[in-house]
Amino acid sequence: MSTLVIEGGHRLEGRVAVEGNKNAALPLLAACLLTGEECVLTNVPRIGDVDVMARLLADLGASVEGIGTPTLTIRAAEIRTHEADRTLVGRLRGSVLLLAPLLARTGRARLAPPGGDFPARRSISTHLEALEAMGARLSEGRDHVLEAPDGLRPASMYLYEASVTGTETALLAAAAVPGTTEIRHAATEPHVVELCTFLARMGAEIIGAGSSTIRVTGAARLRGARHELGGDYIEAGSWAVVAAITGGEVAIDGARPEDIEVVAAVLQRMGIECGMVERSFVVKPSKPRAVRRIATGLWPSFPSDLVSLVTVLATQAEGRTLVHDWMYELRLFALEQMSGMGADLFLADAHRIIVNGPTRLRGGRTLDSRDLRSGMSLIAAGLAADGETRVAPLETVERGYSQLVDRLRSLGAKVTKVLD
């Protein structure tokens, strides 16, 4: 394990490029199991979560070349086992996306409880209900054990929750089943659309990608495909907020304008001068101001993955801001640590936090990066604080941010990675 040591008080300046969308990479990797032919993914983010998913595919019997690089070549000519490695599954919530491909290829799937951030509070019931609607049988027990000895069948289903990964599970299953499946109350995020694009290249017919109703006509035999991942708008938004918190000027390359605008809308309301300049999203030095309320929501509303970072920005804004993440519990709890840095925070409940600003943040503390997004937020707080701040374990944040230390340094941050 390692610790990031931060010398705060330095403005970030320069240019940074985002890699492919983390939340698209995991379902695309799972989709590669649906065919025995070769699939090639490019602009893959070089992050911990992708490495774990690639290792899971290899353990199941797939050939995976290029782990740790932006190009992955996968060929799953044979699935060796229907049971995913328990240790790896325990490190990655996205491992739940393996259920549908395993059922489609082997008729069986066994998955230990997936890990990742807040595993005890994040249900996979939507995934299981979608698979059961398509004919899978679920066995009782702590592990998720499903069987479809006669194969999956097309279905018409309504998802009780517009879950992103739940929608992706339904899409993965439907693509491998001859006939038409209709998915209503589907998630509409860009990474769901990206999965639809890839599955269509593999031979499925998909109508309604990006809408709440998706119709999938699957194929008995899917083919290999090649796909370049789109830029990660969550990563781009993270760099934008970090720039704003430090009063810096940063140009961010790689994010699509239609994706990053959901972040830009909130930053601009907070008085941050930002926007697309040619093909880059540029943040300029600004004086942040509070807004009455910032609330997360389903796409295209403000994403929950950035709520922790924007809360840190609110500590540097003039006035009072209520931040409301109605989608997930616990995401804001880690930010209570900032009270010891001088932040004026009141955690109203598991979903709401009230921030008064601006406050001058003080270093001199070691902060616990309890989950991926709050970990990046605490790094942002350390960058804005006076003195030295330590954030650990750094590996939690590196699950979702490639070459984090090097890129922070390239923007002028004074940071050091220390092995514990």
Active site residues per annotation = 117
Round to whole Å and give the CA distance between 231 and 252: 11
Asked if 64 and 83 touch (Cβ cutoff 8 Å), the reply is no
**What would the DSSP string read from start to end of 156-184?**
EEE-SS--HHHHHHHHHHHHTSBEEEEEE
Asked if 243 and 288 touch (Cβ cutoff 8 Å), the reply is no
Asked if 3 and 420 touch (Cβ cutoff 8 Å), the reply is yes
Count other C-beta atoms under 10 Å from residue 279's C-beta. Answer: 11
Asked if 73 and 39 touch (Cβ cutoff 8 Å), the reply is yes
| Dihedral over Cα of 289, 291, 295, 299: its sign | negative
Both tokens assigned to 294:
């910032």
Element (H, E) at 241: helix 233-245
Count other C-beta atoms under 10 Å from residue 9's C-beta. Answer: 15
Asked if 131 and 99 touch (Cβ cutoff 8 Å), the reply is yes
Planar angle of CA 191, 310, 14, nearest 5 degrees: 80
Both tokens assigned to 53:
């998913």
The residue written with tokens 């931060």 in the block is 6
Helix locations, 33-96, DSSP H? 48-60, 86-89
Round to whole Å and give the CA distance between 44 and 56: 16
Round to whole Å and give the CA distance between 389 and 132: 49
Round to whole Å and give the CA distance between 155 and 132: 10
Type of residue found at 261: E
| Dihedral over Cα of 312, 313, 317, 320: its sign | negative
| Dihedral over Cα of 365, 368, 369, 371: its sign | negative
**What would the DSSP string read from start to end of 68-120?**
TSS-EEEE-S----SB--HHHHTT-GGGGGGHHHHHHHHSEEEEPPP-SSSGG
Phi, psi of 58 (to 5 degrees): -65, -40
Planar angle of CA 183, 187, 192, nearest 5 degrees: 95
Type of residue found at 65: E
